[in-house]
């Protein structure tokens, strides 16, 4: 669909955000979208008019209540007259006004914003900022800023770039008109700096002017053009006059605001600037010193690319700009770099622009945000809260969370998910999943209040073998949701053991209030029925992790190499955990591992599913072993763990999800039973059991190992069949959820 889009911004004077909007508008217009721009106006109005883009004067450039009220009514008139589909705001004031307008006009348009920089959040200004339905952020660090400071959901942020018109900014651009206007001679060393001359933007301009006498002495015949206008322009102009008087000639020239920036860039031997202006100079194959109010990167070279991309060439988080840094790099660029070195640096800069910063890519990123926001405006939206044992460094439970999240996302972009996590910041950073602190009562209740369905699961949440306190937590979350009249689904739960009579009664009362229950084992189904739970609500599926994939084998080999694990012999992955009676089991299990090494020439590698607990138990086994073994001590994601397991010859495990990972990767396995859920899945997978820990039989287990080694292909064939069935059953979980969501609406 080709939308009619209203761009709103403060003004159209020289500046990075303003140029961004102009280039974006022109590119979208070229692609067939109907573009209108509303702002306080400025030098770029003519460029928009030349592109056939209508401009309305709306005074959104000041926090003045009367101007903001006038802007509100003007924008309302424009939206109605033009029949606007999408409003795209590019600054705080336009965003605030358009946010009010959207609510008052009863969502008559779809609302998108762009974040070009970080805003001051004090004095209540944070609460006057409206980020719309979707946000386009011009860098990854701004994306993180939005999430940290405004709680914008990661799924609502689309990261883009400052798209550059590579035809307009090109090594072929003619700068002769600028040379004539400012009396620049061919071969005269020329430095060009471009930025708004506002107090918040003109730090480097001031430093360059202060350096003029030193630079003129060091670089004979130097000319400096400082391009841009703003609220400190007159102050900078006076300083430039003083500097010129001091050296007895016009070295530094203040041009004021201009729109022919590409022609100024064309005359530069060295360009100094930040953000968009730096990228434009790179497109023109200039040697660029990246410096601005927020930091200093220096002469742009390949080793600076990653750092510059992190902050969109704005220098946030870098060392601050100083006169000494500027003097060093400007002199180096003119005197130490040969013309060929400058040419190569410029050529590399243009290659970077073509690869990462084309204006067509910027427009495509924005269209993705428009499409997502449009769908959100025109389709029913569903909010889901996931409650489980997430954020505790337990690989199995993290795998459940990731599998559930991926599968639920597969239902459509209109399903929004919030996870209750013990470490919400880690969950967001590692996996890009929206999360709140599971013990923060206010946050949890707010998330539940906004949701359509609460999911409790997966995993063995309803049990009292670890503690009654854990059981009470999950039951209380369910009760809170039902008190708020929310739908509740127990999602792929493993139930029990629940031993206490009072606890069993509580589970029955609370679980009977759930709207839908899926269970990962028949055992759990039988357990709920024994408590008196309504069987009509219960459906047996499978663990969601049967739908998860791991990293590629070559990546997994890299992780093992980093841990010093040799790959010259087949690897046996061992996963142990602490449990009652482990002290008696450890010595015998160590002898089993020794035999595997001695008899079958295998390398034993201990894999932790919960750090540091499993590492400590693994160390105890290793100390009892006569043969060498390896312990993986890194903190690995579930994807990485599954990738490592894929390289194993076979698996020895007490952990359920190690077994599931192995089955998913078609790696033969032998399980050791400390809980009925292990026995259940060994039977479902038709894989051998080493029996319960208290009845461990060394000879019987060695016979199982011999059979696995001798008939590996047969075990793999069994796993291929059984795992495919369990994967299909696991996908039923989200299908049941989908029915519940649609029933809700």
pLDDT digits (tens, 9 = 90+) for 302-352: 999 999 998 889 898 899 999 999 999 999 999 999 889 999 999 999 999
Cis peptide before 353 (omega within 30 of 0): no
The first and second tokens of residue 538, run together, are: 């219960």
Confidence band, pLDDT 50/70/90 cuts, at residue 744: low
Query: Whose CA is closest to 174, among 263, 265, 269, 281?
Result: 263
The residues that bridge with 252 in the sheet, in sequence order, are 224
The residues that bridge with 273 in the sheet, in sequence order, are 290
Hey, is 244 helix, strand or coil? Answer: helix
Lowest-pLDDT choice from 176-180, 461-465, 661-665? 461-465
Q: How far apart are CA 484 and CA 449, in angstroms?
A: 7
Q: How large a percentage of the chain has pLDDT more than 90?
A: 83
Cα 633 to Cα 128, 147, 333, 565, distances in angstroms: 47, 31, 47, 11
Q: How far apart are CA 442 and CA 463, in angstroms?
A: 26
Q: Which residue has the tokens 């998108």?
A: 112
Q: How far apart are CA 320 and CA 84, in angstroms?
A: 43
Q: What is the pLDDT of residue 321?
A: 96
Confidence band, pLDDT 50/70/90 cuts, at residue 616: very high
Q: How far apart are CA 556 and CA 571, in angstroms?
A: 13
Estimate the crossing angle of helix 656-664 against helix 395-409, to 10 degrees. 50
Residues 6+ positions from 421 with CB-CB distance below 8 Å: 390, 391, 427, 435, 436, 437, 438
Q: What is the pLDDT of residue 339?
A: 87
Residues 6+ positions from 441 with CB-CB distance below 8 Å: none
Q: How far apart are CA 335 and CA 286, in angstroms?
A: 15
Asked whether residue 253 carries a pLDDT value surpassing 80, the answer given is: yes
Q: What is the pLDDT of residue 581?
A: 73
Q: How far apart are CA 744 and CA 486, in angstroms?
A: 9
Q: What is the pLDDT of residue 120?
A: 66
Q: What is the pLDDT of residue 424?
A: 94
Asked whether residue 205 carries a pLDDT value surpassing 80, the answer given is: yes
* Alpha helices, H only, 339-450: 339-356, 359-378, 395-409, 424-431, 441-450
Estimate the crossing angle of helix 676-685 against helix 522-531, to 10 degrees. 140
Residues 6+ positions from 582 with CB-CB distance below 8 Å: 617, 693
Q: What is the pLDDT of residue 126?
A: 67
Asked whether residue 745 carries a pLDDT value surpassing 70, the answer given is: no
Q: How far apart are CA 671 and CA 679, in angstroms?
A: 8
Convert the pLDDT of each residue in 378-398 to its tens digit.
989 999 999 999 999 999 999
Convert the pLDDT of each residue in 694-705 to its tens digit.
788 899 999 999
Residues 6+ positions from 272 with CB-CB distance below 8 Å: 191, 192, 193, 204, 208, 288, 289, 291, 326, 330
Burial 633-651 (b: 16+ CB within 10 A, else e): eeebbbbbbbbbbbbbbbb
The residues that bridge with 670 in the sheet, in sequence order, are 652
Q: Which residue has the tokens 């030349």?
A: 50
Convert the pLDDT of each residue in 619-634 to its tens digit.
999 999 999 999 999 9
The first and second tokens of residue 277, run together, are: 């202006």
Hey, is 525 helix, strand or coil? Answer: helix
Going by the DSSP 8-state scheme, the letter that residue 228 receives in this structure is B
Burial 487-507 (b: 16+ CB within 10 A, else e): bbbbbbbbbbebeeeebbebb
Q: What is the pLDDT of residue 124?
A: 61
Confidence band, pLDDT 50/70/90 cuts, at residue 17: confident
Query: Structure pTM?
Result: 0.72
Cα 659 to Cα 576, 635, 677, distances in angstroms: 11, 19, 11
Convert the pLDDT of each residue in 227-246 to its tens digit.
999 999 999 999 999 999 99
Answer yes or no: are the C-beta atoms of 368 and 159 closer than 8 Å: no
Q: How far apart are CA 316 and CA 142, in angstroms?
A: 10
Q: Which helix (H) or strand (E) holds 491?
A: strand 487-493
Alpha carbon distance, N-terminus to C-terminus of the chain: 27
For the residues of 609-645, what is the DSSP string, one character each? SBTTHHHHHHHHHHHH-SS--EE--S---HHHHHHHH
Answer yes or no: are the C-beta atoms of 290 and 328 closer than 8 Å: no
The first and second tokens of residue 152, run together, are: 């914008």
Exposure of 6 by Cβ count < 10 A (0-12 exposed, 13-18 middle, 19+ buried)? Answer: buried
Cis peptide before 497 (omega within 30 of 0): yes
For residues 547-568, give the mean pLDDT.
Answer: 96
Answer yes or no: are the C-beta atoms of 456 and 478 closer than 8 Å: yes
Exposure of 127 by Cβ count < 10 A (0-12 exposed, 13-18 middle, 19+ buried)? Answer: exposed
Convert the pLDDT of each residue in 75-91 to its tens digit.
999 999 999 999 999 99
Going by the DSSP 8-state scheme, the letter that residue 132 receives in this structure is B
Residues 6+ positions from 72 with CB-CB distance below 8 Å: 97, 100, 101
For residues 407-427, give the mean pLDDT.
Answer: 94
Asked whether residue 119 carries a pLDDT value surpassing 80, the answer given is: no
Convert the pLDDT of each residue in 524-535 to its tens digit.
999 999 999 999
Convert the pLDDT of each residue in 256-290 to its tens digit.
999 899 999 999 999 999 998 999 999 999 999 99
Asked whether residue 125 carries a pLDDT value surpassing 70, the answer given is: no
Q: How far apart are CA 443 and CA 242, in angstroms?
A: 58
Answer yes or no: are the C-beta atoms of 28 and 272 closer than 8 Å: no
Residues 6+ positions from 676 with CB-CB distance below 8 Å: 496, 497, 523
Query: Whose CA is closest to 279, among 292, 267, 288?
Result: 288
Q: What is the pLDDT of residue 273?
A: 96
Q: Which residue has the tokens 């008196």?
A: 532
For the residues of 421-484, what is the DSSP string, one character each? ESSHHHHHHHH---EEETT-HHHHHHHHHH-SEEEEEEES-S--SS-HHHHHHHHHHHHHHHHT
The first and second tokens of residue 527, run together, are: 């357990």
Asked whether residue 743 carries a pLDDT value surpassing 90, the answer given is: no
For residues 706-713, give the mean pLDDT.
Answer: 97
Q: How far apart are CA 222 and CA 220, in angstroms?
A: 6
């Amino acid at each position: 669909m080709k939308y009619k889009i209203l761009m709103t911004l403060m003004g159209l004077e020289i500046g990075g955000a303003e140029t961004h909007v102009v280039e974006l508008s022109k590119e979208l217009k070229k692609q067939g979208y109907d573009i209108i721009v509303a702002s306080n106006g400025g030098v770029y109005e003519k460029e928009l008019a030349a592109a056939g883009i209508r401009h309305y004067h709306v005074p959104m450039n000041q926090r003045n209540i009367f101007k903001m009220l006038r802007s509100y009514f003007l924008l309302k008139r424009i939206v109605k007259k033009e029949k606007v589909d999408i409003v795209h705001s590019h600054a705080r004031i336009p965003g605030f006004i358009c946010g009010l307008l959207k609510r008052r006009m009863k969502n008559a348009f779809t609302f998108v914003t762009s974040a070009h920089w970080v805003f001051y959040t004090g004095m209540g200004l944070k609460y006057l900022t409206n980020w719309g339905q979707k946000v386009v952020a011009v860098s990854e660090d701004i994306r993180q800023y939005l999430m940290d400071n405004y709680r914008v959901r990661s799924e609502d942020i689309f990261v883009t770039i400052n798209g550059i018109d590579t035809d307009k900014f090109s090594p072929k651009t003619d700068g002769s008109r600028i040379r004539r206007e400012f009396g620049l001679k061919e071969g005269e060393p020329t430095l060009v700096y471009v930025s708004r001359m506002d107090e918040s933007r003109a730090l480097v301009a001031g430093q360059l002017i202060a350096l003029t006498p030193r630079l003129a002495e060091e670089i004979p015949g130097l000319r400096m053009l400082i391009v841009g206008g703003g609220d400190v322009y007159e102050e900078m102009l006076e300083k430039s006059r003083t500097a010129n008087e001091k050296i007895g000639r016009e070295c530094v020239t203040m041009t004021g605001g201009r729109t022919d920036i590409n022609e100024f860039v064309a005359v530069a031997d060295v360009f100094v600037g930040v953000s968009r202006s730096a990228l434009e100079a790179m497109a023109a194959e200039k040697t660029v010193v990246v410096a601005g109010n927020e930091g200093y990167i220096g002469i742009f070279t390949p080793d600076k690319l990653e750092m510059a991309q992190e902050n969109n060439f704005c220098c946030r988080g870098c060392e601050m700009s100083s006169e000494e840094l500027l003097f060093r790099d400007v002199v180096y660029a003119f005197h130490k770099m040969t013309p060929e070195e400058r040419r190569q640096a410029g050529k590399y800069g243009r290659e970077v622009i073509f690869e990462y910063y084309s204006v067509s890519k910027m427009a495509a990123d924005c269209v993705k945000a428009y499409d997502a926001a449009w769908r959100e405006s025109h389709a029913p939206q569903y909010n889901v809260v996931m409650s489980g044992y997430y954020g505790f460094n337990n690989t199995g439970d993290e795998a459940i969370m990731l599998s559930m999240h991926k599968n639920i996302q597969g239902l459509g972009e209109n399903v929004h998910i919030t996870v209750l996590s013990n470490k919400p910041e880690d969950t967001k950073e590692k996996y890009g999943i929206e999360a709140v602190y599971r013990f923060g009562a206010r946050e949890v209740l707010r998330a539940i209040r906004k949701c359509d369905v609460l999911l409790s699961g997966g995993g063995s949440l309803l049990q009292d073998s670890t503690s009654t306190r854990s059981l009470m937590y999950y039951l209380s979350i369910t009760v809170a949701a039902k008190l708020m009249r929310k739908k509740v689904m127990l999602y792929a739960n493993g139930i029990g053991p629940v031993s206490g009579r009072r606890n069993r009664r509580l589970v029955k009362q609370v679980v009977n209030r759930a709207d839908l229950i899926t269970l990962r084992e028949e055992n759990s189904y039988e357990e709920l029925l024994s408590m008196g739970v309504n069987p009509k609500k219960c459906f047996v599926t499978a663990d969601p992790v049967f739908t998860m994939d791991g990293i590629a084998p070559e990546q997994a080999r890299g992780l093992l190499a980093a841990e010093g694990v040799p790959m010259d012999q087949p690897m046996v992955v061992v996963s142990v955990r602490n449990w009652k009676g482990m002290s008696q089991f450890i010595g015998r299990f160590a002898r089993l591992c020794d035999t595997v090494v001695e008899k079958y020439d295998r390398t034993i590698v201990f894999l932790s599913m919960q750090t540091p607990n499993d590492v400590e138990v693994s160390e105890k086994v290793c100390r009892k072993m006569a043969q060498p073994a390896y312990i993986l001590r890194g903190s690995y994601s579930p994807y990485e763990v599954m990738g490592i397991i894929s390289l194993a010859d076979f698996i020895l495990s007490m952990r359920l999800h190690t077994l599931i990972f192995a089955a998913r990767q078609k790696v033969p396995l032998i399980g050791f039973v400390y809980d009925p859920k292990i026995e259940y899945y060994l039977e479902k997978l038709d894989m051998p059991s080493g029996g319960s820990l208290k009845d461990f039989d060394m000879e019987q287990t060695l016979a199982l190992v011999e059979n696995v080694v001798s008939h590996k292909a047969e075990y793999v064939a069994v796993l291929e069949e059984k795992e495919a069935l369990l994967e299909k059953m696991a996908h039923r979980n989200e299908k049941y959820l989908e029915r519940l969501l649609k029933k809700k609406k």
